[in-house]
Amino acid sequence: MSNRPASAGRRETSSDKTLSVMDLFTPERPEWTVEEAAVALGQSASTVYRYFRSLSAVGLIFSVRPGRYLLGPGIVHYDRQLRLSDPLLRAAEPTIIELSHNVMGPGLLFISRIHRDHVMTVHEHRLNGEPFAAGTFARGRLAALFGGAPALSMLAFMEVRAAGAMFRKAGCDESEWLETKRRMRVVRSRGFAVGRDDPDQGTIHISVPVRQDSGTVIASLSLALASAACDDAAAERMGAVLAEASARLAERALTQARF
């Protein structure tokens, strides 16, 4: 599935096309030339050169050696601005530190949001500072929208019609929609989602939605542990603990948004 934003239903603007360059840079292909990008984007080299020049001017890409470009340090600047300005991220650390006192590591606590047609972790905290593989839900990595507990915990508390539209836009198999709706009903009934060895073997994810007062889902709060260290009874307990922490997180985020 492509990571590029869908442009169906409207004509791409020059800004859209410039920013589409950013999607070319991936861990598998971190370095590009203008000529290579032109082929990938189906644009002329002169047009793509203008895109590269605009992105270089604001530090979003830079020339690592003549003619070859990587993502630039400007992204770090914007990442810092995001951490300082986003009410949810500003509220995340104190809430997760409190929560970490009730959970034994090694493991990972993390917050995810829906980004384009994917789920992406925007904040993570390793329990007790111990190493733990983030796997599919590593910070900044695009994960499937209809796969795993972090996504399901958000989708389950959205309007079914909206979730269905996202399901179709994500290109999922229509024959699986009934089963997806069944899983969403189970999550709504329990209040949290559990994914054991799904999608990461050896890991259990327990996830709850983070909701505004209006009920709108803004994120998910998740705990990742080794599957062998968390039986079903422990997962139930952790689901309740996460739900309480999610309510505190949402309230803190609301308070932050007022200032």
Instruction: Give the mean pLDDT per block of 10 residues along the chain (259 residues).
Output: 44 75 94 97 94 95 94 95 93 93 92 94 92 94 94 95 91 88 95 96 97 91 96 96 96 80
Task: Provide CATH 1.10.10.10 ranges for the chain.
Answer: 14-74
pTM of the model: 0.87
Provide the CB-side half-sphere exposure for 208 (13 A, CA).
Answer: 22
Total residues belonging to the chain: 259
- pLDDT given at position 73: 96
> The tokens of 222 are what?
């998740």
How high is the pLDDT of residue 8?
45
Is the CB of residue 9 less than 8 Å from the CB of residue 169?
Answer: no
- Does CATH number 3.30.310.50 belong to domain 14-74? no
Predicted local confidence at residue 258, as pLDDT = 67
Question: What pLDDT, on the 0 to 100 scale, is given for residue 186?
Answer: 95
Place of tokens 């009410």: 87
CATH class of this structure's domain 86-257: alpha beta
pLDDT of residue 136: 96
Q: Where in the chain is the domain with CATH 3.30.450.40?
A: 86-257
What's residue 11's pLDDT?
62
> Using N-to-C axis directions, what is the helix angle for 45-57 and 34-41, rounded to 10°?
120
Percent of the chain with pLDDT over 90: 79
Tell me if 7 sits within 8 A of 17, measured CB to CB.
no
Distance CA 113, CA 221 (A): 9
